[in-house]
Amino acid sequence: MYIKTSNNVIDFPFSIAKLKRENPNISFPKTLSDSQLEEFEVYPVIVNIPEMSASQALGVLTFPELVEGVWEVTYTVINLPPEEVLAKAKSLRDQEIVADIFVHEVSWQVDDRGRDNMRNAIETAHRKELPVDTTQAWILSDNSIRYTTVAELEEVLNQYTLRIGEIFMSYTLWRSGDKLLPFSI
């Protein structure tokens, strides 16, 4: 992000593309250094991002200020409505629930489709009365193939269920607090 200060007129935000359009007869190098930009009264702008609580979000940029020889802008911070704070936390909670799970030293897909596939494989093996150590090819999160037993698939689903309990416990504790810190697992 850049600013142009020419004849006491500030042009912000300013871009290298705009500089090139304003000077069509000049052949610019591929990248311009700060000193080259200064020749055109163009300066980099530092963007300051303030710390925020979970109940806040970035607002708008302030007008650029020259601070100790450096142009700076800062985002304002806005307070989010309580329902938006809860919606963000619920969204994160839901993402964590279906995130891949690491069991048996590999990552498994446990989204709705992945869990349905596991349950179907387990139910089929039980219906056909196959031994629990019977293996079948299974596609893992990284798209590799692993020969997997019914017992291992059952363990993945068990670990998934335990993880849901942990996520809901974390979410419940977060909801009972002041909600200033972001929800995390």
* Domain coverage including residue 41: 2-79
Is the pLDDT reported for residue 181 higher than 80?
A: no
Peptide bond preceding 81 in cis form (omega within 30 of 0): no
Place of tokens 């048996």: 104
Q: Report the 10 Å Cβ neighbour count for 66.
A: 11
The rounded distance, in Å, linking the Cα atoms of 139 and 109 is: 9
Residues 40 and 102 occupy one common structural domain: no
Domain count, the chain: 2
Which of 30, 62, 79 is the last residue in one of the domains? Answer: 79
The 10s digit of each residue's pLDDT in 18-42 is: 999 999 999 999 999 999 999 999 9
Place of tokens 């190098």: 29
pTM above 0.75, yes or no: no
Q: How far is residue 68 from each of residues 4, 47, 48, 72, 141, measured CA to CA in Å?
A: 17, 15, 15, 10, 51
Q: What is the token pair recorded at 44?
A: 């980099």
- What residues contact 82, with CB distance under 8 A and at least 6 apart? 55, 179
At residue 85 the predicted structure's pLDDT band, cuts being 50, 70 and 90, is confident
Residues 121 and 171 occupy one common structural domain: yes
Q: Is residue 184 included in any domain, yes or no?
A: no
Q: Average per-residue pLDDT in the chain?
A: 93
Q: Is residue 185 included in any domain, yes or no?
A: no
Q: Is residue 183 included in any domain, yes or no?
A: no
The 10s digit of each residue's pLDDT in 91-143 is: 999 999 999 999 999 999 999 999 999 999 999 999 999 998 899 999 999 99
Residues 169 and 144 occupy one common structural domain: yes
Is the pLDDT reported for residue 81 higher than 90?
A: no
- What residues contact 74, with CB distance under 8 A and at least 6 apart? 47, 48, 49, 50, 61, 62
Residues 69 and 102 occupy one common structural domain: no
